[in-house]
Structure 1
Amino acid sequence: MFNKILLAVDINDDAGAQRAADHGLELARMCGAELHVLNVVPDMGFNLVGSAFGPEHAKQVRTETETALRTWAEGAMPGAGIAGLHVSQGTVYDQIIRKADKLGADAIVVGAHRPELRDYLVGPNAARVVRHAKQAVLVVR
């Protein structure tokens, strides 16, 4: 059914990331698919804010996030045989879609929070991934 799956997790939400990981692992096992894991570091917002920290800060954040993702994956999915761990920085839903396209993923597994009023007006990342991705998307609550 699927050959390559992208599991997008927020490692700052342990429970939600674990639920998504459990479903992503099961789907990969059922399909005999390659599993890639992505964590996105959101943009800092205004360019003025980002420029105040400089390139060294961005590099440090990326390095720390890569280490944290590796540690999380070892604990949450021991022995899973993950094909790749990836860290991107930018708009969350956009980076998920870009990484899925770049990897040639057939499916995306993403966690979702319970919707709040503001989510109905703006739209959460999971909903945007569902609307814009070319791949099949499994949203895990």
Structure 2
Amino acid sequence: MYRKIIVAIALGGLDRGQDILRKAASLLDAGGEIVALNVIEDVPTYVAIELPANMLEDAMKDSRDRLQALVAATEVVATVEIRNGPPAKAIIAAAESHHADLIILASHVPDFSNYFIGATADRVVRHAKCSVLVERHKI
């Protein structure tokens, strides 16, 4: 069905990450590729001044280790990629650079300001140039 799938996984929701990785595997064409992606948000400069210089590198290493462990636990073959920046923008950029034909991401339980789907999911749905599957949290 799909040749290249970006699976955006928030490290705060690793159990949901397993679900969407398995869903991606079920939608993947033979010979296709899955990219498991985590995005580390930028820290505002006024906060970054007070933090250790190597904090971003440490956060990226920790994210890569945790995402690789998740991929191994699901037994889904996937490439792990870590990016930093605004999450929606980084997810869309990853999809474009990989020429993905599907993005899968989970949506958190929304508040009033983003009632139907989460803020990141909402932005990805509105701006992605490929299909987007939003896995809703079962309440």
Residue type at the aligned position of 2:47: V
Q: Give the corresponding residue for 1:34.
A: 33
| Structure number with higher strand proportion | 2
Instruction: Specify the alignment match of 2:102 in structure 1.
Output: 107
Give 1:118 shift: 2.8
* Structure ranking higher in helix proportion: 1
* Matched residue count: 134
TM-score by length of 1: 0.86
Structure 2 gaps of 5+ residues are none
1:106, distance to aligned residue in structure 2 (A): 1.1
| Identity fraction in percent | 27
User: Partner letter of residue 38 of structure 1?
Assistant: L
Q: Which residue pairs with 2:25 in the alignment?
A: 25
Q: Which runs of 5+ in 1 are unaligned?
A: none
How do 1:1-141 residues align onto structure 2 when only pairs under 5 Å count? 1-28=1-28, 31-32=29-30, 33-44=32-43, 46-75=44-73, 77-78=74-75, 80-82=76-78, 84-120=79-115, 124-141=119-136
Counterpart residue identity of residue 35, structure 2: H
CA RMSD of aligned residues (A): 1.8
Structure 1 contact 19–111 (Cα < 8 Å) conserved: no
Distance 1:114 1:19 in 2: 16
C-alpha distance in 1 between matches for 2:91 and 2:26? 20
One-letter identity of the residue aligned with 1:59: E
Secondary structure at the counterpart of residue 22 of structure 2: helix
Q: TM-score, normalised by structure 2?
A: 0.87
